[in-house]
Structure 1
Amino acid sequence: MTERIFYLDIAALVILVIALLSQLTRRMTKGTANHLFLILVSVTLLSCSLEIWADALDNLCVPDLMLRRFAHSVQMIVYNTTTPCFLLYVLSLTSVWYKLPRQKSMWITLAVPYIADISLLICNIFTGTVVDYPDGVYTINPMAYVTYATAGFYIIIAMCYVLFYHKLFSFPKIVCLLFQIPLAGVAGVLIPMFPDICVTSFTGAVGILLIIAMIQRPEEIIDSATGLRKMSAYADDMKKYFLTANQVSIIMVNISNYRTISSIIGYELMNELLMNVGRIMINTKKSIKNYGEVYNIGEGCLRLTLNNCDSDHTQKAAEMINSELKKTFKINQYDINLIAYVCTAQCPEDIRDLKSLTTFGAEFSSKLPYNGEVLHASSASVKRSMTLLSEIDCIIDNAFANHGFHVYYQPIYSVENKRFESAEALLRLIDEKDGFISPEIFIPAAEKSGAIHKIGEFVLEEVCRFIGSDEFKKLGLSYIEVNLSVSQCMQHGLSEKILGIMNKYGVSPEQINLEITETAASFDQSVMTENLAELSSAGISFSLDDYGTGYSNMYRIAALPLKIVKLDKSFVNSQSSKMWTILQNTVKMIKDLNMEIVVEGIETKDMVRKFSDLRCDYIQGYYYSKPVPQDEFVKFVSERNSAAASV
């Protein structure tokens, strides 16, 4: 008898052990694709070990032929398990894997050939129909081609999926996967021709080595700093979901104070914090017993995908994550509180393509107000806000063309004179299709597009037209406050434009008060400084809006030509005794600078009393009136001031 030559099996065994260790040491152990690839490597390794055992029994001429048939049959059973494992691995790369639980017919189609193949090999132990030992010589019978055909069946199906979903793979990855066909073909051709040379395990090991080199590359998908999947992996995986029309739930976490925290605690501790957040998301996924991945896509943004998860379970998971993220994180010596937006989306129902998903994920936390609750991409308010954001430039253009901009006025009450002496002009946008659109949406968009300059001129023109009218003169108001944006403040020739419009309607400088925000006040641009100086020298006064929102540089504020400081409503809403102490000292400091104080956001009589006792000069808020159109404003002020005069 000719001895079986299994040095190729020894080489395959070494390759497979190295491959398995490579997967483990490179942390390629998480996720369905990695799990299936580990199974594929392990099954191939077991097949190789069994082949060495079976060949050793042949070479030792063990007299028990049933034992030898048993060894070869078990080896072939394990080997023929590698091709279904390879198919499942390919399906996991295309995300079709998650559809399998719902497709019983597909399971049956895939399972029947394998079951028949295994049954044939089990029978071989007793009958020798596949491999046998006539006259003690190892012989491959014609029925063996059935097992080869079964293996080929699974490889061909896998290749069909690769070709059908070729858009999901780069060219080198397609070549790598398609190369499994000639490798299997080589084994199928050589085995009958050279039955004494063991090649099946070696060709399988070469195929696995190619996959490790071209596909199982942790540097492409794993963020080394946090151990979570990176942005490129997120984009690739979501592309797969959309192209295969596979349902997936996404929980998006955007940490809005990421940059502030990072600047304080540094790069390494920030990564530790992100690892903790990622761990919360992983544990949540496990608690609801769902498959999915966690991604760190950068700038404090993390994503959790849940496969075949209904909206109720997704909501439950999101609430769990949101609750955990509200807790204080202890990192080194720091106690850190996150401002974390959590939003859910069902794809493709809520968001239909990768570009829309990426845009939504990047913008929802910066465009939507933070209220500590879980947001939903499917909710009407979120959809409306995001739709408006995508169409806002066209809406602004239409507002100019169709008179969609309106100037409203909110009266300002004088504590000392007990009457309304001024008002703030506030712009409102009412679209024909979308109705009222918040300034928080259209003002930032207008600043970005440059339309803010045209809007500013429109508001000033409307205000000056009103001030120049007879009905304004009858009101006895001292001035109207008009807001200036940062962009307007840094516009060349601003003073000439403003003074030109005022002269057009005969408005005197003392009748206009220009409001600038703390953000604008923090800028030290020569153009802005020049504009403010020219307007101030012309007799126009200035107010500082939203004082207390965190941008103030006290030296800068003292240097500006300010007449009025408007306290932000955050002072009003705070119930803290410490904040009240800060407020008292803030009022004293502003008074010492000979500036007047307007308190914004007053809604109750008790608030009016408190701030009046603090010697604030003016009060503005819903307690007196919300911003109203010009006609309503004229009627309101006339009636209230007349009533005050008669008392």
Structure 2
Amino acid sequence: MTYNVDYEICALVFLLLLMLSLLVIKHINDSQSKAYLILLCVTIFDLIFDIAGSIMINNCEYAPRGLNFATNTIFLLMQSILPYFLMVYVVILGSTYYSSKKKIFYIVSAIPAGFMAILTIVNIFVTTVFYIDDKGYHYGKFHSLFYIFSVLYMILSLGYTFVIPNNIRRRKKMIVLAMVVMIFIAVAVQFMWPTYNITGAGVALSLFILYLTVENPAAYRDPLTMALNRTAFLHKTDELRRTGTKMEVYTLALDNFKMVNEVYGMEGGDKVLEMLVRDLKRKVSKNDVYRYSGDIFAIVLSGKAVGSRGVRDIQKIVEQQWELKGIELDLSGCICHIPAEYKIDSPKNLIRSMDHMIAEAKKKGKGSVVELDDAMIETMKRRSDIEQALMAAVETGVFEVYYQVIYDSARDSFHSMEALARLNVPGYGYVSPEEFIRIAEQNGLITKIGMLVLEEVCRTVKEEKLWEYGIDYVEVNLSVVQCMRETLDVEIMDIIRRFGIPNKMINLEITESAAAYSEKTLVQNMERLRKAGIEFSLDDYGTGYSNINYVAELPFSIIKIDKFFVWSAFKDEKMRKVLKNTIETFKNINFKVLAEGAEDNIMVEGLKEMGIDFIQGYYYSKPVPRKQMVEFLRKANGKKDGISAD
């Protein structure tokens, strides 16, 4: 019987080149990568001894019997453990770390591999696996167990991937399935035609698929600086977190690096980043420097803590005198430090912590240092709890709305009201709209929340018949993000039509900053909605750009003067004159003017003397829930039954 080793030789050459590639391009240092390297090494040795053993069997009359027997024994030892290491890799692929909880599973599942390894060694004396005589190589009665246990480990791999709950994503599951199918076909072919040594080639092809899809070092490298990238950073920190290994995370966010690119060009800026990474690797951490994003870098130190010394080391590198094209260059950067004693419980929270710290450092100024502390953790916890409350409100489809009445000076009654979103966060109570609206804008929930608030307002208008209480319209706030949506007008009109209320019952409030951010899209939406009978108010005038010419060009009906502007006018005579002139100017160009923040009778009478149209503030009523608002209107305005909304 002559064995064909052509496929195995090709597979061996291929895997040797693959190994060389991994050695040249430094790989991420984690459990999954280590498991892959072990599997690769075992496969290479398996192929070497398979090829050598097969050649000796093919030339049995010339090969020394002892060497022939030893070579094939080593090959079968490799065959004993190879399926086991393949299964271990699949398990680690699903958990990305070697957990102590899995040790029992690893030990128990190693029993078949251990049994076959012992059987192979004992075969020296009892020849129950194979034997060699003058006629050549012969299978023993237990030789078929190699095939049986190989299939067993493949079944265990598939079972772990598709049956047991794990962290393997669908893409990786498909990769594992393709691997197992490929190896199974190779094993089945070799079982039916023993002279075709093809199992090793099947494993080699599977390893190559893994290299292309999961283990490619290039996928974890920043091609410019050759630092590890953000994916590698999350991979590494997650493994350290799961294994309970202490780690310190340093973040370096360069200051005004855009200026470097503008002065020296993109090529010069890239060169500076390369030099920076080179020095960070040389002086801080050889293997754990990561390009987190553009001009932000992360360094992970595990094991022994270095604390503030790490910050000083990074500062020295950044603040050294740099030279580019013969020109001296100064760099600065904000440094953030997460000490080892703070254990971040998830990759998401780690990113959130780093982003928060970078933002805080940038607020403090160039070259600032921020270290994670209990107060910062509490701030981030508060933000997380607010996000959870926002998501819960969106999921239930109900958002709490309060109403604050608006006084009409000419009619001497309350003619409208403003709808104000409220959020009750467990453990904190009601939080400021300024706080949760900003968070909702950042996490993408603001559009849904805005529509939920509008729905609740329309529901209140319809069910309470607010027009019977003398209410002409309800003001609803639009965020910056909503104003940037090209479909805003369609979304708003759909909700109003669904509740069947007159379009004029809704007035939309927009801040100065929102108008500036999205002027073109906003004006188009405003024009379409105004044609449908919906009016607009400019909110918080006096806090932003405060450009009257700019405001006059936009199709607003009402200008709402911010409460801080109003308050300052009643504390300073000059500001009082500014406020009076502002009101007169807007009225002269046919705007209605509303003053926010009226808190006492002196302010109310003073505003009336200035010719203000509408007044809003705690003097009349604080924002109250729907039922209290209706009761207030019943007492203040009275109810006029039979009045039509039209």
Give the TM-score of the pair, scaled to structure 1: 0.55
Q: How do 1:484-495 residues align onto structure 2 when only pairs under 5 Å count?
A: 485-488=543-546, 492=551
Match of 2:355 in 1: 362
Q: Does 1:324 align with 2:310?
A: no
SS in 2 for 1:190: helix
Match of 2:182 in 1: 183
Q: Aligned match of 1:302 in 293, 297, 300?
A: 297
Q: Does 1:94 align with 2:94?
A: yes
Match of 1:605 in 2: none
Match of 1:198 in 2: 197
C-alpha spacing 1:358/1:84, structure 2 compared with 1 (3 Å):
same
SS in 1 for 2:292: strand
Instruction: Give the C-alpha shift of residue 353 in structure 1.
Output: 6.0
Q: Deviations over 1:111-168 (max 9, x none)?
A: 4443333222222234322111255331122322333344444444333343346764
Match of 1:49 in 2: 48
Match of 2:496 in 1: none
C-alpha spacing 1:346/1:207, structure 2 compared with 1 (3 Å):
same
Q: Any gaps of 5 or more consecutive residues in structure 1?
A: 403-430, 457-482, 516-529, 536-647
Once residues 122 and 223 of structure 1 are traced to their aligned partners in structure 2, the CA distance between those partners, rounded to angstroms, is 47
Instruction: Check conservation: 1:393, 1:446, Cα contact below 8 A.
Output: no
Instruction: Give the C-alpha shift of residue 231 in structure 1.
Output: 3.5
Instruction: Give the C-alpha shift of residue 511 in structure 1.
Output: 5.2
Q: Deviations over 1:180-235 (max 9, x none)?
A: 32333234333343332222222222222222333334454322112233345556
SS in 1 for 2:80: helix
Q: How do 1:54-69 residues align onto structure 2 when only pairs under 5 Å count?
A: 54-61=53-60, 62=62, 64-69=64-69
SS in 2 for 1:251: strand
SS in 2 for 1:66: helix
Match of 1:474 in 2: none
Instruction: Check conservation: 2:190, 2:198, Cα contact below 8 A.
Output: yes
Instruction: Give the C-alpha shift of residue 251 in structure 1.
Output: 1.6
Instruction: Check conservation: 1:69, 1:128, Cα contact below 8 A.
Output: no
SS in 2 for 1:139: strand
C-alpha spacing 1:389/1:239, structure 2 compared with 1 (3 Å):
closer
Whichever residue aligns with residue 326 of structure 1, its letter is: Q
Match of 2:17 in 1: 18
Once residues 433 and 34 of structure 1 are traced to their aligned partners in structure 2, the CA distance between those partners, rounded to angstroms, is 43
Once residues 215 and 446 of structure 1 are traced to their aligned partners in structure 2, the CA distance between those partners, rounded to angstroms, is 35
Once residues 390 and 264 of structure 1 are traced to their aligned partners in structure 2, the CA distance between those partners, rounded to angstroms, is 44
C-alpha spacing 1:159/1:305, structure 2 compared with 1 (3 Å):
farther
Instruction: Give the C-alpha shift of residue 334 in structure 1.
Output: 3.8
Instruction: Give the C-alpha shift of residue 324 in structure 1.
Output: 1.7
Q: How do 1:190-339 residues align onto structure 2 when only pairs under 5 Å count?
A: 190-234=189-233, 249=247, 251-255=249-253, 257=255, 258-275=257-274, 278=277, 294-304=289-299, 313=304, 316-317=305-306, 319-327=308-316, 328-329=319-320, 330-332=322-324, 333-339=327-333
Match of 2:74 in 1: 74
Once residues 227 and 150 of structure 1 are traced to their aligned partners in structure 2, the CA distance between those partners, rounded to angstroms, is 42
SS in 1 for 2:197: coil
Once residues 179 and 66 of structure 2 are traced to their aligned partners in structure 1, the CA distance between those partners, rounded to angstroms, is 33
Instruction: Check conservation: 2:311, 2:337, Cα contact below 8 A.
Output: no
Q: Any gaps of 5 or more consecutive residues in structure 2?
A: 391-398, 405-424, 443-476, 481-508, 513-540, 587-646
Match of 2:597 in 1: none
Match of 1:411 in 2: none
C-alpha spacing 1:385/1:182, structure 2 compared with 1 (3 Å):
closer
Once residues 55 and 426 of structure 2 are traced to their aligned partners in structure 1, the CA distance between those partners, rounded to angstroms, is 85
Match of 2:378 in 1: 383
C-alpha spacing 1:31/1:293, structure 2 compared with 1 (3 Å):
farther
Once residues 218 and 188 of structure 1 are traced to their aligned partners in structure 2, the CA distance between those partners, rounded to angstroms, is 29
Once residues 479 and 307 of structure 2 are traced to their aligned partners in structure 1, the CA distance between those partners, rounded to angstroms, is 38
Whichever residue aligns with residue 336 of structure 2, its letter is: V
C-alpha spacing 1:108/1:136, structure 2 compared with 1 (3 Å):
same
C-alpha spacing 1:35/1:445, structure 2 compared with 1 (3 Å):
closer
Match of 2:639 in 1: none
Whichever residue aligns with residue 70 of structure 2, its letter is: F
C-alpha spacing 1:446/1:132, structure 2 compared with 1 (3 Å):
closer
Once residues 178 and 437 of structure 2 are traced to their aligned partners in structure 1, the CA distance between those partners, rounded to angstroms, is 57
C-alpha spacing 1:91/1:336, structure 2 compared with 1 (3 Å):
farther
C-alpha spacing 1:189/1:278, structure 2 compared with 1 (3 Å):
same
Whichever residue aligns with residue 84 of structure 2, its letter is: P
Whichever residue aligns with residue 325 of structure 1, its letter is: I
Match of 1:639 in 2: none
Once residues 81 and 40 of structure 2 are traced to their aligned partners in structure 1, the CA distance between those partners, rounded to angstroms, is 11
Instruction: Check conservation: 1:252, 1:303, Cα contact below 8 A.
Output: yes
C-alpha spacing 1:455/1:63, structure 2 compared with 1 (3 Å):
closer
Instruction: Give the C-alpha shift of residue 253 in structure 1.
Output: 0.9
Whichever residue aligns with residue 99 of structure 1, its letter is: S
Whichever residue aligns with residue 80 of structure 1, its letter is: S
Instruction: Check conservation: 2:284, 2:313, Cα contact below 8 A.
Output: no
Whichever residue aligns with residue 4 of structure 1, its letter is: Y
Match of 2:123 in 1: 124
Instruction: Check conservation: 1:284, 1:317, Cα contact below 8 A.
Output: no
Q: Deviations over 1:269-311 (max 9, x none)?
A: 5445545655676678869xxxx955323132334456xx68x
Once residues 441 and 140 of structure 2 are traced to their aligned partners in structure 1, the CA distance between those partners, rounded to angstroms, is 80
Instruction: Check conservation: 1:132, 1:138, Cα contact below 8 A.
Output: yes
Instruction: Check conservation: 1:249, 1:345, Cα contact below 8 A.
Output: yes
Match of 1:342 in 2: 336
Instruction: Check conservation: 1:345, 1:351, Cα contact below 8 A.
Output: no
Instruction: Check conservation: 2:253, 2:296, Cα contact below 8 A.
Output: yes
SS in 2 for 1:224: coil
C-alpha spacing 1:346/1:169, structure 2 compared with 1 (3 Å):
farther
**Aligned-residue identity in percent:** 16
SS in 2 for 1:179: helix
Whichever residue aligns with residue 319 of structure 1, its letter is: S
Once residues 99 and 301 of structure 1 are traced to their aligned partners in structure 2, the CA distance between those partners, rounded to angstroms, is 32
Once residues 246 and 442 of structure 1 are traced to their aligned partners in structure 2, the CA distance between those partners, rounded to angstroms, is 34
SS in 1 for 2:79: helix
Query: What is the total number of aligned residue pairs between the two structures?
Result: 453
Give the TM-score of the pair, scaled to structure 2: 0.55
Once residues 7 and 504 of structure 1 are traced to their aligned partners in structure 2, the CA distance between those partners, rounded to angstroms, is 90
Instruction: Give the C-alpha shift of residue 357 in structure 1.
Output: 4.1
Instruction: Give the C-alpha shift of residue 60 in structure 1.
Output: 1.8
Instruction: Check conservation: 2:99, 2:243, Cα contact below 8 A.
Output: no
C-alpha spacing 1:211/1:228, structure 2 compared with 1 (3 Å):
same
Q: Deviations over 1:348-407 (max 9, x none)?
A: 9645463x444443333214554954522x623342266259749999x99x999xxxxx
Whichever residue aligns with residue 249 of structure 2, its letter is: I
Q: How do 1:419-438 residues align onto structure 2 when only pairs under 5 Å count?
A: none
Once residues 284 and 85 of structure 2 are traced to their aligned partners in structure 1, the CA distance between those partners, rounded to angstroms, is 25
C-alpha spacing 1:344/1:531, structure 2 compared with 1 (3 Å):
farther
